[in-house]
């Protein structure tokens, strides 16, 4: 699989990262062929024609990354391919053009990452968004509200583009603050509010998510009880520092106290199954679409 990360810059160009090409066995080389033609030629790795246009990214298993820039007014066509003992495997021809209409960033912890106890399948995969926005997932497992603030200027704010029609940031955070760092609802909410105010000052339109059920207890009581207070703080105050709310906690299947015990939606009392992520996506999808400009 190939994932392409496109970051519209404040200057008229794209920063493009090509990464995550996985095969079933170790491959010798990974390449991609960029060109400004609509139908780039399928070339063998050692083909002579236009060899200079073939860029080798790396070898072995794992994830690989390559960055390049696309100037304003140009369209880039890319065809990635890999070589192993079975032969050559080609990815699809992908077209990238400037400028984009809408940018959506999904920020959070392992729940946004989509960890479901066996693999990663984020709610991102279940979204059905209007207008085909460019989507980025900047979440990181184990993150707290403080972690989001610490990495925002490096991982989130540079994605904002003055030429994009909408710059939307979805924030789903709180479980690690409450369940693992034993923070109370007030501290967690204040950290969230401060983070959001800082992002609004950078031009982001924010969607804040309430938290779903979570197992465990801390010095402040049952995690679900603390979560309920945190969610109520969000519901009563989100319009002071955000542009929309995705009230995940209002869905009884994943948001009611003790819902974490339902193995249809939770795999370990914290992380969601695919069924749970589907419910999350439906709520967030509606919130994002309400902000995407027609």
Q: pLDDT digit string (tens) for 21-58?
A: 333 333 334 444 444 343 333 333 333 333 345 666 66
The least confident of 84-88, 89-93, 244-248, 272-276 is: 89-93
Q: Is 57 exposed, middle or buried (0-12, 13-18, 19+ CB in 10 A)?
A: middle
- Sequence-ordered strand ranges (E) for the chain: 3-8, 13-19, 29-35, 55-58, 65-71, 75-84, 87-90, 94-97, 102-108, 134-137, 166-172, 205-209, 217-218, 221-222, 244-246
How much is the pLDDT for 1? 33
Is residue 177 over pLDDT 50?
Answer: yes
Q: What is the Cα–Cα distance from 205 to 135, expressed in whole angstroms?
A: 14
SS3 for 237? helix
Average pLDDT of 180-189?
96
Residues 135/7, Cβ–Cβ less than 8 Å: no
* Contacts made by residues 85-90, CB under 8 angstroms, sequence distance 24+: 85/25, 85/28, 86/25, 88/44, 88/45, 89/23, 89/27, 90/42
Structural domains of the chain ordered from first start = 3-97 (2.60.40), 102-291 (3.40.50.1110)
Average pLDDT (263-275) is 96
The secondary element (H helix, E strand) that includes residue 288 is helix 274-291
DSSP secondary structure code for residue 118 in this structure: S
Report yes or no on whether pTM surpasses 0.85: no
Residue 61 has pLDDT above 60, yes or no: no
Each residue's pLDDT tens digit, 95-110? 555 556 788 999 999 9
The mean predicted confidence, pLDDT, of the chain is 78
Q: In which band, very low, low, confident or very high, does the pLDDT at 271 lie, cut at 50, 70 and 90? A: very high
Which of 269, 230, 223 is CA-nearest to residue 248? 230
CA–CA separation, 251 and 283 (whole Å)? 9
Residue with tokens 């960055």: 67
């Amino acid at each position: 699989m190939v994932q392409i990360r496109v970051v519209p810059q404040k200057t008229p160009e794209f920063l493009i990262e090509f990464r995550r090409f996985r095969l079933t066995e170790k491959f010798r080389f990974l390449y991609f062929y960029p060109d400004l033609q609509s139908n780039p030629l399928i070339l063998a790795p050692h083909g002579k024609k236009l060899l200079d246009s073939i860029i080798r990214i790396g070898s072995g298993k794992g994830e690989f990354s390559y960055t390049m820039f696309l100037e304003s007014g140009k369209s880039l066509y890319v065809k990635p391919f890999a070589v192993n003992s079975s032969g050559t495997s080609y990815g699809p021809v992908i077209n990238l053009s400037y400028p984009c209409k809408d940018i959506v960033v999904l920020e959070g912890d392992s729940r946004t990452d989509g960890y479901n106890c066996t693999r990663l399948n984020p709610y991102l995969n279940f979204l059905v968004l209007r207008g085909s926005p460019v989507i980025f997932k900047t979440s990181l497992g184990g993150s707290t509200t403080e972690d989001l603030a610490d990495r925002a200027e490096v991982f989130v704010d540079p994605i904002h583009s003055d030429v994009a029609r909408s710059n939307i940031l979805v924030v789903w955070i709180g479980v690690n603050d409450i369940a693992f760092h034993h923070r109370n609802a007030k501290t967690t909410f204040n950290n969230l509010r401060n983070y959001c105010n800082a992002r609004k000052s950078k031009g982001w339109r924010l969607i804040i998510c309430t938290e779903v059920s979570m197992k465990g207890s801390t010095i402040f009581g049952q995690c679900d009880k603390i979560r309920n207070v945190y969610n109520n703080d969000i519901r009563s105050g989100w319009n002071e520092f955000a542009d929309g709310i995705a009230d995940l906690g209002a869905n009884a299947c994943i948001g009611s106290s003790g819902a974490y015990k339902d193995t249809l939606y939770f795999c370990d009392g914290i992380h969601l199954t695919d069924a749970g992520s589907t419910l999350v996506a439906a709520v967030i999808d509606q919130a994002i679409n309400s902000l995407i400009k027609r």
